[in-house]
Structure 1
Amino acid sequence: MPLDPDTLLASSMFINASGAIVFSLFWLADRRLPELALWAVGYVLLTLGLLGMMFLSAARYPPALEGGAVFVLCGLSPACFWLGTRYFDRIRPVRWGPALVAGVAPGLHYAVGMTLGWPPTSVVSVTLLLLAVLYALDTHVLVRGIGRDPALPGSWPVSRTVVAACVALYCLSFLVSALVTWWGGGSESDAEAASVVIVSVVDNLLGVISCIATAGMLWERARADLARDARIDPLTGLFNRRGLQDGARRWLTRNRPLAVMIADLDRFKRINDAHGHAGGDLVLATFAHLIRDVCPAEDSLLARIGGEEFVILLRHADPDAARGVADRLRRAVENGSFLVGGERLAITVSIGLAFPAADDTDLTPALERADRALYAAKHGGRNRVEELAEA
């Protein structure tokens, strides 16, 4: 089969139509994920754009309206991929307006330029350059998320890296096309034709790889979400005991000095008895929010290890700083607003504070000392912070 442009366009259409079908089926299986719908729409738009190119392939420079419509479709496709990736990364706000404006820019430029009689090679070159910019933005949002996905701790997102590389090569192919068109100056040289064929072949290969790798991104995220859910307490959104131990092992090897606190709500059983487990759960969730507000987000590991007992691990915290955080938390609970059934409850917390020894490789010894300090706080009158030095 000869590698003529129409054959390559037909092959690209088949690949992108397949991608549209695959991600449409994924979205129909789970409509809670807008990124699947946006990626499917992106493939549909690109397929329609390629179809338009086939119909207009007889004309070296298509008419303003028809060519502009084709380039609008081709521009909105990477815009949809960009929007979908932001949804996938849970980035808010998603910024629909700027994305859609950027998506129609190549087609609008082509239509205006051809209507006003600008040099066709300049119009096409700039249009292709605008498409390259759109794929560069896609590459940026993909690369920015590599290694920063909170759902993928300690693992390298291979599929995302492959997708980012493919999109970067898409960007490069449009840039090469723009330069070839500009330097060709309207001539039908063999070199220009060869460049177009090479870029088209690269696009065909990347279409298959990027579609498979994008599906791989979904698999990586699903696997990571399952692993994360096994480490998260569903009521409070904090780590559970397993998540605490996993995080503590990493922190104990660095990030010294460390401080360990165990916080326990005073007389919590009375709350459950008076307001039921639903009321108790509401108090626990409110307490978890207070912990997040008081503890430094970048330097704390927060966990609920059972009932009304919470553990706070602080890194880069000397004794004075740790005592300050513990007392701020105690006062925040004492002065906090715990509303259950329209009634404001007066709640206090007791906190045990300890510091891991220099040779500790496990959190257990420090937790035991913090637990003894908590016991002292409870028996010392509650609503207080007690500290236990290294053993």
Structure 2
Amino acid sequence: MLTLPDVPTLGLCSVLASLAFLGVFVFLWVGRRDESHLLHWAASSLIYAVALLAFASVAGPSLVIGLLYGALSASTLAVLTGVRRFDGLPPFRPWLLLPILVSCLGYLLPALAFGVDSPASRIGGTVGSIVTMLVVGLSLALGRAPQPSRGRRIAGAALLVYVPSFLVAIAAEAVGGSSVNMAALVPLLADQVLLAVLNLGLIAMPGERAQAALRDAALRDPLTGAWNRAGLRALEAPRLRPGTAVIVLDIDHFKDLNDRHGHALGDRVLTALAGCIRGIAPEPDAFLARLGGDEFVMIVPDRSPAEACWLADEIRLATQRVPDLPAWTISLGIARVEPGEADFAAAIERADRSLYRAKAEGRDRAAA
């Protein structure tokens, strides 16, 4: 029959697990010195391990124990500061001190009124831990992120799952009748699973970002930053609906431009064209892909034919205002996705025919 482990044994297991993850984060940081978020997560593991060891050895005044409850909250908040650093945001905000203050006072006030080791003081400290877990867990699981991340959501979910264990601990302390510190026992039991889930979720985040960057690089044109043909195929489904405007454009006499001024200047013109398009119709409102050479296609949803023509003309005029380049112009062809079309191929073909009509009519214009 299974027996319930005691608090010191569970605490030791959590300390060893935290030190192991501390070593992992430090080892990863040694090889990636620019990824300072790893140091925040290492600090989280270190603070947690030190706080647990201090709880096991300190039976001192209420102020010291209150500070240790604050340290537990700080270890959890270091997870959030690391994630903020990972996202390129300032890691610290003054409001992050509030959960630490709630944890300290949550223990100290009942301890002063009812005693250092009273159920009321342990419940108060546990309430502070609940507040911290909710703040950090909800921020990770539901907060806005630069890109979707399963690791982030897993880490956030792990923190939120701690909350029921704290509530069980509070209920057990309120009922009383046990010589065991239930405010420590129940969360430490949860620790044996959730601590690993939390840290593995954090470890997965850099790998997810690297994988997304590789995928993005494979689907984008390295010169202009526009999507390539593979990107167009991979990402067309959510944009494919009847009425979506398709604008095909290229640079007039681009070969002559390259021959007269060199390919380096031709590359600058291509980059300038992509920049003009993004300035007029940035993502995600518009989708820009380079089909090859100097030919681009824009996918613009939710625009009337008149709006698509206006947009095309604005881009044409914007290219004429680019400084430090020889004079150059573009021609554009406009079409729309028709009901029943399974991809953009037919609409691009129609827009391409419009483009050739614009060139036949004298270039430096749009045709629909």
- TM-score in terms of structure 2 length: 0.85
| CA-CA distance at 1:160 after TM superposition | 4.2
Output the CA distance in 2 between the equivalents of 1:145 and 1:40: 22
Matched, 1:315 2:301: yes
Matched, 1:246 2:246: no
The answer for the alignment partner of 1:361 in structure 2 is 342
Residue by residue, what CA displacement relative to the aligned partner does 1:309-352 show, whole Å, maximum 9, x if unpaired? 22111122231222222122222222x333xxxx3544432111
The answer for the alignment partner of 2:287 in structure 1 is 301
Matched, 1:200 2:198: no
Residue by residue, what CA displacement relative to the aligned partner does 1:130-188 show, whole Å, maximum 9, x if unpaired? 32222212222222269x76467xxxx3x44433321111233344445555x36xx6x
Alignment of 1:264-275 (within 5 A): 264-269=250-255, 272-273=258-259
Output the CA distance in 2 between the equivalents of 1:41 and 1:283: 48
The answer for the alignment partner of 2:22 in structure 1 is 20
Query: Taking every aligned residue pair, what percent have the same amino acid on both sides?
Result: 29
Q: How large is the Cα RMSD of the aligned pairs? A: 3.1
Matched, 1:80 2:78: yes
The answer for the alignment partner of 2:355 in structure 1 is 374
| CA-CA distance at 1:38 after TM superposition | 1.9
| CA-CA distance at 1:360 after TM superposition | 1.7
Output the CA distance in 2 between the equivalents of 1:229 and 1:37: 28
Output the CA distance in 1 between the equivalents of 2:223 and 2:133: 41
Relative to structure 1, the CA distance from residue 267 to residue 176 in structure 2 (aligned partners, 3 Å threshold; closer, same or farther) is: farther
Partner of 1:237, secondary structure, is coil
| Cα pair 1:77 1:103 within 8 Å, conserved | no
Alignment of 1:223-302 (within 5 A): 223-252=211-240, 255-269=241-255, 272-273=258-259, 276-295=262-281, 297-302=283-288
Output the CA distance in 2 between the equivalents of 1:237 and 1:99: 38
Q: Which amino acid aligns with 2:37?
A: E
Output the CA distance in 2 between the equivalents of 1:292 and 1:198: 55
Counterpart of 2:333 (choices 352, 363, 368) is: 352
| Cα pair 1:151 1:225 within 8 Å, conserved | no
| CA-CA distance at 1:249 after TM superposition | 3.4
Higher mean C-alpha displacement, 360-369 vs 32-41: 32-41
Q: Which amino acid aligns with 2:322?
A: S
Structure 2 stretches lacking a partner, 5+ long: none
Partner of 1:264, secondary structure, is strand
Residue by residue, what CA displacement relative to the aligned partner does 1:340-385 show, whole Å, maximum 9, x if unpaired? xxx3544432111112232221222221222222222223222211
Relative to structure 1, the CA distance from residue 305 to residue 299 in structure 2 (aligned partners, 3 Å threshold; closer, same or farther) is: same
Output the CA distance in 1 between the equivalents of 2:33 and 2:95: 22
Partner of 1:236, secondary structure, is coil
| Cα pair 2:110 2:121 within 8 Å, conserved | yes
Partner of 2:219, secondary structure, is coil
| Cα pair 1:72 1:108 within 8 Å, conserved | yes
Output the CA distance in 2 between the equivalents of 1:114 and 1:271: 80
Residue by residue, what CA displacement relative to the aligned partner does 1:112-146 show, whole Å, maximum 9, x if unpaired? 7489x454555553443232222212222222269
Relative to structure 1, the CA distance from residue 268 to residue 125 in structure 2 (aligned partners, 3 Å threshold; closer, same or farther) is: farther
**Count of residue correspondences:** 363
Counterpart of 2:132 (choices 131, 134, 138) is: 134
Output the CA distance in 1 between the equivalents of 2:292 and 2:66: 62
Output the CA distance in 2 between the equivalents of 1:103 and 1:275: 63
Output the CA distance in 1 between the equivalents of 2:224 and 2:37: 27
| Cα pair 1:304 1:311 within 8 Å, conserved | yes
Alignment of 1:81-160 (within 5 A): 81-88=79-86, 90=87, 93-98=89-94, 100-102=96-98, 104-106=100-102, 108-109=104-105, 113=109, 117-120=112-115, 124-144=122-142, 150=147, 157=150, 159-160=151-152
Relative to structure 1, the CA distance from residue 162 to residue 284 in structure 2 (aligned partners, 3 Å threshold; closer, same or farther) is: same
Q: Which amino acid aligns with 2:139?
A: V
The answer for the alignment partner of 1:169 in structure 2 is 161
Relative to structure 1, the CA distance from residue 3 to residue 269 in structure 2 (aligned partners, 3 Å threshold; closer, same or farther) is: same
Relative to structure 1, the CA distance from residue 373 to residue 64 in structure 2 (aligned partners, 3 Å threshold; closer, same or farther) is: same
Partner of 2:298, secondary structure, is strand
- TM-score in terms of structure 1 length: 0.80
Output the CA distance in 2 between the equivalents of 1:349 and 1:272: 15
| Cα pair 2:104 2:128 within 8 Å, conserved | no
| CA-CA distance at 1:77 after TM superposition | 1.5
